[in-house]
Amino acid sequence: MLSLCVQVFAVLVVCAADAANRDISYTFRAWTMVDQPLQEQLAVVYKEMESLKHEQAVMIQKQEALSQAFADCSQKPIDTDVEMNLTSLQTGSNHLLYTLTQDGDGDEDSHEALDPCYHYTVLDQAWRASNYTSKYVTCDRRVQWKGWYRLFYHGKPIQMPERCVMKEMCGTHAPLWLVGDHPRKRDGVVTRQVCGNWKNNCCLFKSPPIQVKACRGNYYVYKFVKPVACHMAYCADINTIVCGKCRKTESCISSNKITWMCKKNQLRIKVNVHFFVTHPASISGKVNRIMYRKEYVNQGKAFDTRTGIFKAPVSGVYQFFFSTQNGGNGATDLWLVVNNYSVAMSHSNVQGNSSVGNLSTYMTTLRKGATVYVSHNRGRSWASSASNTIVFGGSLLMERII
Ligand SMILES: *[C@@H]1O[C@H](CO)[C@@H](O)[C@H](O)[C@H]1NC(C)=O
Ligand SMILES: *[C@@H]1O[C@H](CO)[C@@H](O)[C@H](O)[C@H]1NC(C)=O
Ligand SMILES: *[C@@H]1O[C@H](CO)[C@@H](O)[C@H](O)[C@H]1NC(C)=O
Ligand SMILES: *[C@@H]1O[C@H](CO)[C@@H](O)[C@H](O)[C@H]1NC(C)=O
Ligand SMILES: *[C@@H]1O[C@H](CO)[C@@H](O)[C@H](O)[C@H]1NC(C)=O
């Protein structure tokens, strides 16, 4: 019994020394129990040993993760003699490089519950810039990617390129760029293809897709994964450095994906356009433009009762309807006129004293400012102030954002 006890304490001392080397402060409760019965002291010692073992296991895990992160890359599709070393990896970096473990257990579910916009690792490595070139190349396959990352360039926010980047830039051989645009905030988390440019082929290397999310405050977070091979690295587009200056009310935009600029967000208010007007009296013969004077609905004030012309207030898809009541004996034609072109007819033809109503509809895409009216080409149309037989109406069905 005594020899066992000595052995147990010997192990404890070794562990304690080991733990001290790693800057772990630990109080041994067993040492405050010298007055207690030996049985109880031993139970506590065993318990302490268990937690020390756990501590050690975590240490070993961390160490393995570190050595793996900087271990050699087995796949080498790109010819190179240059090996990445720690010094080159840290060039230009003034932030923490990689967080390997945050809380030890790496529980995926609890991480998913957190918004990545506020839980990311800062990746501030100047060598990732699209204008950086060096003979010391890096490979992101050697990194143990975990969780979400936000790109910086000397402390300034920066984005991944949405275009092909010249080979041997971004501190690597084949720079990885984002295929397709960055998402909008309302898109949430999206999956995007990643391509590596090599041998004049912008997507010679199809790397595994990554997840991207747009965050409030004009920045993006990326869930990076190991690229398909070495040497490839996620690139940071130096031209997007201007995006960090965009205000809350602005967006960072680019028409060519090369030049970026801040632009004030357009406040889009939903436009409602509906009208229904009538001609309260009969019409005979040719009338170039029917002056519908009685207005029932004119939401959006796009129809002008003084001119009889509807003017499209926004670009979009519109539907119109117009009708007549044939005034008897012969043909009556009404035309819908869009931008001075007759596009649809309401025709009726009756014999004798009989009468018929005829309704026509038309749907079209109009540009903002387009004009629409109805002409009375021939015949007779019957209406009274209350009959609502000669009518014209329309609605904007869908606004088109151009
Ligand atoms: C490591 O990288 C640095 C900077 O890129 C370079 O100066 C150094 O020679 C490299 N060391 C080795 C052993 O390759
Ligand atoms: C890359 O662009 C940044 C920002 O414009 C600039 O400060 C830096 O000097 C450039 N680096 C190289 C290697 O051209
Ligand atoms: C339609 O004709 C009027 C009068 O002739 C003219 O002022 C107007 O510009 C024309 N509209 C279009 C879209 O051509
Ligand atoms: C109603 O209008 C349509 C299209 O203009 C025409 O084909 C049809 O003959 C008209 N109906 C009558 C009863 O005239
Ligand atoms: C047509 O109307 C006129 C006058 O209202 C009437 O004299 C005539 O009989 C009517 N014809 C027919 C075929 O109904």
User: Any idea where the domains of the chain sit in the sequence?
Assistant: 2-60, 73-264, 274-399
Half-sphere exposure of 17 (CA within 13 A, CB side): 5
Nearest CA to ligand 3 atom 4: 340
Report pLDDT for 65: 60
Nearest CA to ligand 3 atom 13: 339
- Reduced to 3 states (helix: H, G, I; strand: E, B; else coil), residue 233 is strand
Report pLDDT for 74: 38
Q: Does the pLDDT at position 325 exceed 60?
A: yes
- Winning range, highest mean pLDDT, from 57-66, 243-252, 314-323: 314-323
Contact 160, 234 (CB under 8 A): yes
Report pLDDT for 40: 74
Residues 259-276 have a mean pLDDT of: 87
In this structure, the number of other CB atoms found within 10 A of the CB of residue 84 comes to 21
Report the separation in Å between the CA atom of 339 and the middle of ligand 3, taken as the mean of its atom positions: 7
Residues 212-233 have a mean pLDDT of: 93
Q: Does the pLDDT at position 10 exceed 50?
A: no
Residues 329-342 have a mean pLDDT of: 95
Whether the CB of 339 sits within 6 Å of ligand 3: yes
Nearest CA to ligand 5 atom 10: 353
Q: Candidates 353, 354, 382: which one to mutate for ligand 5, based on the most atoms within 8 Å of Cβ?
A: 353
Q: Which atom of ligand 2 is nearest to the CA of 154?
A: 7
Report pLDDT for 61: 67
Q: Where are the alpha helices (DSSP H) in 114-235?
A: none
Kindly give the interhelix angle for 2-21 and 38-69, rounded to the nearest 10 degrees. 30
Percent of the chain with pLDDT over 70: 76
Is pLDDT larger for residue 279 or for residue 65?
Answer: 279
Report pLDDT for 253: 92
Report pLDDT for 125: 94
Report pLDDT for 348: 92
Report pLDDT for 44: 73
How high does pLDDT run on average in the chain? 81
Q: Tell me the ligand closest to 334's alpha carbon.
A: 4
Residues 203-227 have a mean pLDDT of: 94
Q: Which atom of ligand 1 is nearest to the CA of 134?
A: 5
- Reduced to 3 states (helix: H, G, I; strand: E, B; else coil), residue 316 is strand
Report pLDDT for 114: 78
Lowest-pLDDT choice from 56-65, 241-250, 297-306, 384-393: 56-65
310: CB partners within 8 A, 6+ apart = 275, 302, 303, 304, 320, 371, 372, 373, 392, 394
Lowest-pLDDT choice from 24-38, 40-54, 118-132, 262-276: 24-38
Report pLDDT for 66: 58
Percent of the chain with pLDDT over 90: 60
Report the separation in Å between the CA atom of 340 and the middle of ligand 3, taken as the mean of its atom positions: 6
Lowest-pLDDT choice from 56-60, 99-103, 171-175, 207-211: 99-103
Is pLDDT larger for residue 197 or for residue 135?
Answer: 197
Report pLDDT for 38: 72
- Fold for the domain defined by 274-399: Jelly Rolls (2.60.120)
Report pLDDT for 20: 39
Report pLDDT for 105: 38
Q: Which atom of ligand 3 is nearest to the CA of 371?
A: 13
> Which of 337, 334, 281 shows the shortest CA–CA distance to 310?
337
Q: Does the pLDDT at position 15 exceed 80?
A: no
Predicted structure pTM score: 0.44
Nearest CA to ligand 5 atom 11: 353
Nearest CA to ligand 2 atom 7: 238
Q: pLDDT digit string (tens) for 336-393? A: 999 999 999 999 999 888 889 999 999 999 999 999 999 999 999 999 999 999 999 9
